[in-house]
A and B are shown apart, each in its own frame.
Chain A
């Protein structure tokens, strides 16, 4: 039966080329816009190289200290090592803990040997747990060792592209030195490039945070606003051994923080709802307040609704016009006993072919939009936008764009759009009195 419907729809497309083209373009545009947003969310949330453990990761980006006396203010920032070691590290069930320094004191310039050039790069200061939480593929060498980390030895893991830019190859690079901000770092490993869309772990050079000059300078740890050195400069990414324990570990960390807070005399400490699940953490943009998920749901829901409804009304109008021309056919079918449900099914099925063709066009268009706007598109919905230095760019890999999840989302969008655009015209065409229909 559906074969006949599709055959009929195919003939309609061939007969009314311009109309069909307009319809498919309209559908495609809507699917493209919705897919761009969906792909952005997918890339931010799904397990993508090297952040392949996102589904098992809990995130703590900041903490807030609020004065117990009203009106004496509050401070918020990333966490101190002390707070992390007291409230997070001892929790059972944690497979690894990545700490990333969230404070840039250096200018991030590399001095290639034999030139006067200053090469701007992205660097990150991390701990050894970072290499367990994030699955970077080592092309040569290994991560820096725990001993290197503890002693603050200036060692570094560099990316494949930085190795090629500095040494012309990724082979034989281990043991060589890279000058960053006129300080020499011994290369201990080279990893396959990651994309800047995985911005939490993305860098060209990863250095033990104990080797940062900031690490020795702990003046802010003794500041009056920071009782007991609670606030600091580290973001914590907790890899949970079993995803079934996520909620338990989250609750344990929260309980530890409450206990820690009670030891403070002047301030109350809060993680503002953290640890976050990974997807939640992508909406946490500020250190002093958590995301308002109700507001976000309304905002994004409204955007998706607009992106679907504006074309749906337009497509409904076109479908309705098409049905107007086929009223006589509908009338005859009903006069010979075709039930209304079957007629509606037929209209849905025929329309779905149009929507599906539009969907394929829309998906391809969304890829094109993402690739053309790759430099800024991932910053949609973010607060401050990080800039990449010259020579680095945001790359979307085929696996990020073409996978069953993305195709499934596209198919669901096609179903929804088809439903929205064909429901009223189908109902109206099928419920028209037979005499009216035949009388056309």
Chain B
């Protein structure tokens, strides 16, 4: 059967040449996009040891001295601090609030990044950079964002001894990079001396699970430190039993007045999910996603139109053959399947030359891996180039097969419904 279809493809090489070139172009271009989405979706599915579900960021501000309600006496630093503490307590005691965190830097989902370089004090060849997250230990950053240990148990701020001002908690990936299979707890990390600043030494108090800076990235090296924060970002976790809409509505209604203390006022409240989504937009990720999706659709529609148009003409030219087949006992389903097989076989013939062209892309280093760190300790599937190459090509073939079958359906249906007498009439 296949041999017969191949002979027919060869005999119709003039019109098939166009289809072949189109399929080859579209296969390569589509593969490029499929590869991007494959890595993107793979990264999105890497599990995290924290969660931003039911978490909110509050923004506070101070009245300017030009405002009629401004109180000069409330601007004294001690008074301001006391006012800020009152605000924290009011938020903490609001019904439905499970935990709060006062963050100096490193809010989840936000675009800011405070990079921090450290090395193993006892083996200075092992160094790495990570994202510094600094919060006030009177609040619980870990509980607010539902952090877990690598074994899955919940983390709380009180699990660690923060009495040492140079205490640090690190992520599991950072531990692997610096200490291999050994435990990092109790070990010392060194921030190198720079530009006249002496070296600083941090004592590791614990190791928590890893997080991703953005959902399309791989694990980030997390470095958790504490500080007495005077007016940072306030993060809130609401109860899992409360709907987000309800919490937001009630909280805003009640707290606009409650948090109007001294010169402070509540500017707004936003979910961390919304912040993460906005960061994706501002960093151009949504844009990249939409443009690639549009291009993918464009290629698919083009190939479908090309296949539909070519097969429509082909069926008109091959009426005699179809009539003969029917007269010889071929069923309507058989006729339809013959055309489907012809299309899929033509696509399959394209795969090898397409893979050769794609290999040139890979060879030229044009296939970047999304969110890859300079040195990843963990081997992710997209790093196994050969396997990834095969998987993405298989996905591309599958997508195009579906598109081709859909495109052939209309002309194939027309051919299958042809009355044998009509068809034979041409013969």
> CB-CB < 8 A to B282: which residues of A?
384-387
Convert B267-304 into 0s and 1s, putting 1 for each residue whose CB lies closer than 8 angstroms to a CB of A. Answer: 11000000000100111101100110010001101110
* A316 located at the interface, meaning its Cβ lies under 8 Å from any Cβ of chain B in the complex: yes
Are A317 and B26 CB-contacts (below 8 A) given A324-B313, A387-B281? no
Interface of chain B residues 1 through 40 with chain A (CB within 8 A): 14-15, 18-19, 21-22, 25-26, 29
Q: How far is the CA of A110 from the CA of B302 in the complex (A)?
A: 49
Is B317 within 8 A of A317, CB to CB? no
* A357 located at the interface, meaning its Cβ lies under 8 Å from any Cβ of chain B in the complex: no
Interface of chain B residues 238 through 284 with chain A (CB within 8 A): 256, 265, 267-268, 278, 281-284
> CB-CB < 8 A to B67: which residues of A?
182-183
Q: How far is the CA of A109 from the CA of B268 in the complex (A)?
A: 10
Are A22 and B309 CB-contacts (below 8 A) given A182-B63, A321-B314? yes
* B306 located at the interface, meaning its Cβ lies under 8 Å from any Cβ of chain A in the complex: yes
The distance from the CB of A152 to the nearest CB of chain B, in whole angstroms, is: 12
Is B317 within 8 A of A384, CB to CB? no
* B152 located at the interface, meaning its Cβ lies under 8 Å from any Cβ of chain A in the complex: no
> CB-CB < 8 A to B174: which residues of A?
none
Q: How far is the CA of A219 from the CA of B278 in the complex (A)?
A: 31
> CB-CB < 8 A to B66: which residues of A?
154, 182-184
* A383 located at the interface, meaning its Cβ lies under 8 Å from any Cβ of chain B in the complex: yes
Q: Which of A137-145, A241-249, A342-350, A373-381 contacts B (4 or more CB under 8 A)?
A: A373-381
* A51 located at the interface, meaning its Cβ lies under 8 Å from any Cβ of chain B in the complex: no
Is B281 within 8 A of A313, CB to CB? no
Q: Chain B: interface secondary structure?
A: helix
Are A26 and B309 CB-contacts (below 8 A) given A116-B256, A183-B67? yes
Is B61 within 8 A of A385, CB to CB? no
Are A181 and B64 CB-contacts (below 8 A) given A109-B267, A310-B26, A379-B284? yes
Convert A306-322 into 0s and 1s, putting 1 for each residue whose CB lies closer than 8 angstroms to a CB of B. Answer: 11011101101110111
Is A23 within 8 A of B302, CB to CB? no
* B126 located at the interface, meaning its Cβ lies under 8 Å from any Cβ of chain A in the complex: no
Q: How far is the CA of A385 from the CA of B288 in the complex (A)?
A: 11
The tally of residues in A whose CB lies under 8 Å from a CB in B reads 44
* B312 located at the interface, meaning its Cβ lies under 8 Å from any Cβ of chain A in the complex: yes
The distance from the CB of B363 to the nearest CB of chain A, in whole angstroms, is: 18
Is A22 within 8 A of B308, CB to CB? yes
> CB-CB < 8 A to B14: which residues of A?
320, 324
The tally of residues in B whose CB lies under 8 Å from a CB in A reads 47
Which of B66, B313, B314 has the most chain A CB atoms closer than 10 A to its own CB? B313
Q: How far is the CA of A116 from the CA of B410 in the complex (A)?
A: 61
* A382 located at the interface, meaning its Cβ lies under 8 Å from any Cβ of chain B in the complex: yes
Is A317 within 8 A of B278, CB to CB? no
Is B21 within 8 A of A18, CB to CB? no
* A434 located at the interface, meaning its Cβ lies under 8 Å from any Cβ of chain B in the complex: no
> CB-CB < 8 A to A118: which residues of B?
267-268
> CB-CB < 8 A to A67: which residues of B?
none
Are A384 and B61 CB-contacts (below 8 A) given A317-B306, A320-B15? no
* B310 located at the interface, meaning its Cβ lies under 8 Å from any Cβ of chain A in the complex: yes
Q: How far is the CA of A183 from the CA of B66 in the complex (A)?
A: 6
> CB-CB < 8 A to A22: which residues of B?
305, 308-309, 312
Would you list 5 pairs from A and B whose C-beta atoms are within 8 A, ordered by A residue? Answer: A183-B67, A314-B306, A322-B313, A324-B313, A387-B278
Binding site for B on A (CB under 8 A): 18-19, 22-23, 25-26, 29-30, 33, 107, 109, 116, 118, 154, 181-184, 213, 306-307, 309-311, 313-314, 316-318, 320-322, 324-325, 373, 376, 379-380, 382-387
Q: Which 9 A-B pairs have the closest CB atoms?
A: A317-B18, A314-B306, A321-B313, A318-B309, A182-B67, A26-B305, A22-B309, A313-B22, A314-B22
Known: A320-B18, A324-B313. 11 other contacts (CB 8 A): A18-B410, A107-B59, A109-B268, A181-B64, A182-B64, A183-B66, A306-B29, A310-B299, A320-B14, A385-B283, A385-B286
